[in-house]
Amino acid sequence: MSDEPESNGLDDIDRRILELLFDDARISVRGLARAVGMSAGAVGERVERLESSGVITGYRAEINPSALGLKLEALIGVELTQHSSVYESMAVLRELREVVSVELVTGRWDLVVRIRVRDHEHLKEVLTESVWKLPTLGHSESMVVLESHTGNAPPP
């Protein structure tokens, strides 16, 4: 392990701290210090630097949507009308409680919206009462997610 910082200002110890936090955001500074072989004070300073420089942007709890009754996940491909504001449309969609993410993409669709709903009836409600009433909507296609495997790789 080299202590030399790379062009982005991070050295191997910073990267190891990031990996450990990625694996367990609740790990204590003492736990980090033990894992990297440094004092808790030195590790605490590194974590503060990583936060203040914007490398670490926050910590979060991962929640199982199914445990909250949101058992169905769907993707909605959205084609917007010509001359419509993409960012305004994205903002409107992000306001919906059921929306997990709104992605601006290339290809057939302008946006891909990931939602979580209770069941097919709830999906129909979100589509008919919200998505299909979007003033900038040209066309949409809904796809029910049958199975999902998300990557859990630490940042490079």
**3-state DSSP percent of the chain in helix, strand and coil, to 5:** 40, 20, 45
* CB contact at 8 A, 145 and 65: no
Architecture of domain 12-52: Orthogonal Bundle (1.10)
Q: What is the rounded average pLDDT for all residues in the chain? A: 92
What's residue 152's pLDDT?
A: 67
User: 65-144, which class in CATH?
Assistant: alpha beta
pLDDT in tens, 72-128: 999 999 999 988 799 999 999 999 999 999 999 999 999 999 999 999 999 999 999
Residues of CATH 1.10.10.10 domain(s) within the chain? 12-52
Euclidean distance between CA atoms 80 and 111, whole angstroms: 8
The stretch 7-17 carries a mean pLDDT of 87
pTM over 0.85: no
Residue 37 carries which DSSP code? T
